[in-house]
Structure 1
Amino acid sequence: MKKATIPEEKRSLSQGNSNTTTNAQNARLAERVKQGSVDTFTIMRDLNICRPGARICDLRNAGYKIITNRITMTDEWGRIHRGVAVYTLIAEPDAKVAA
Structure 2
Amino acid sequence: MEELLPVLLEFRSERDWEQFHLPKELAAAISIEASELQELFLWREIESADDVKLDSTRMHEIRDEVADILIYLLFLSHDLGINLSVAVRRKLKKNREKYPKEEYHGRFRKT
TM-score, length-normalised on structure 2? 0.24
More strand as a share of residues: 1
Q: Which has the higher contact order (CA 8 A, sep 6+)?
A: 2
More helix as a share of residues: 2
TM-score, length-normalised on structure 1? 0.27
